[in-house]
Chain A
């Protein structure tokens, strides 16, 4: 639905060059919620603003719903008619809502419809319908200043949907909201994604956002996409930073003659009660040092760090059993633990033996 290839953005100011985007290839499938996460300055904002060409990329192409926007843009700085028409089919939600304070809630939602040249009666019908969708029917005549942050963002979302877009871009839409409101906004985005088949590209610096709503995610660092894939794929990637950040586990072995194992749950088999099966089959005591589990798309995914009695050599068979269950198993290198002041035990990359 959204494809960028070789997207590069260089800012020039007073002879200095700053590369905000460095050859970004992004592919967002139709109907998915795609999260781009990264620290501030990583280039996320430039990326999302390049998708509807609010920011002109220095090089590379952007294709949304089969239309090459970069080709429509032309060379001039001003947006031509074609590009503006394409933009009206891409909704955008902003961190600071960007509602017009001089207009009522309803008039704000009607604004994109005015731009599309839709008649007055049709506009107000559509606006009220959208306000109903986001649960703000009773606020139609209020001014944005009278609303809470979460309500303002709901208006922002309603406004973004006015042009019946297939794609919604969310530029840190929840970053100015408290955790509870964030959750309700994310739920709304998820519902819209499912009800309307809306493709959502969101950027955020909060891992929780990705965890709550995203089907796929990408990690950005210094203008480049470092990792990307569906949440399942990321979890299956040994050493994935995103997976580790999404499902952080910690905890250290309680003694020298213990084996610490990191288990990653993803895919179909994760509904099996593997830990208790392991315990019963081999009659061993298992302590759970840490776990981060979540249900994404009806499936349990996550990681768990467990401790088995005995050294690694004694635990080859139980570890083999875990692998047979379809889990990804990484054995923590407990021998070198004393050297690791950071407290994060290094993983012996064993790969998945299948």
Chain B
């Protein structure tokens, strides 16, 4: 590790300092990766340890427990009811009854089919009297998978609740043994709006998130290991089953072609990923710097009607993005208003191919995104700009710094410091920015080598729009889409983690003013 003392560091020229920073950064990468892996291993170790501890605790509680506790192992809530905590006990018991009923009536059935995802597929029969062909629908792989996953979740929830029940018994026993009184039901109710208020508040939102976000994501991850697509939709044309890592192989191989295209999935993935990263980079940073610039321009001393300028820009946020993007997209069409205007003025002879050529389309999309994004960025940066202490600028001016130097040394570092995390979330958000691309171009112009049947992957397609086309196109390759989704997630997560860990180092560097 290269170490400089402060004096020597200040002696270095600017260029050397820059090189030094890069060298330090690169030097740190292997150490960082190593640290990350170490953290992961520690996490796993802690997890296993925790499970072991829990198991041990359960055993110990049973051994040390009185008859009320031991009975609670089978009849949940019994211990609580027997000790006078009616409310808690009743809730536990109710949960157990519901769970057992569910497993008997439905859960067992679904779980039994989870390995095969259905045994009997659909068939067609001919009715000679009526002269019609009617389908016979049997198992539904999709439903089997869905409800099995739900059942598994339910089982996990039950185990968790059962564990809590045991713990409660243990704690209650201890409290009684030491002579104190247990909380009554009334106390419980009161604590729900007081020190346990967070549980009350979080109950509903978390339930919603678990059912409507966690469950679908988990389900889609599982789909990546099946062959669920348009020709195997699990019900009307064929069942689908587990295929292990086949989809990953297809995705990452260089030979299997995209559906309908002539280049491999991995080549298409590479192309689309590259464009997605470029797009996210430009979309985030052009908006950021230009928005900051506009905010500074409006903020400058001597500019009147500040509110008017801000209001006009903010108007763009008010209009639903849907309308403005669709309309602006049409404005740039071959027979749209922009071309019409330019031709009427005589500045061009033929219509400019805004959406017809790949690079034109890409640049246009970035430009229009600037139009969408600047007002929002302007708002944010205005707020922060106003917080920068003015005397910093004064002292800089006295020292002879011009506007550009003031910007570089004071404004920019401060802004980056405060909005670092925001930039990161903005970058990853832009990587998944479906609306702008879909409404403006729909991914056009088409990339013929990569096109998917009836989906036409294009040069402006992001990973998310490509995903959308795969799932809603004619081939409906949900399995491939899930694989891509997982890869997207990994890409975004890696970028976020890396950059997030990078931020503190930037912070520390710039803090010395």
A, B co-complexed: no
Q: Which residues of B approach A to under 8 Å, CB–CB? A: none
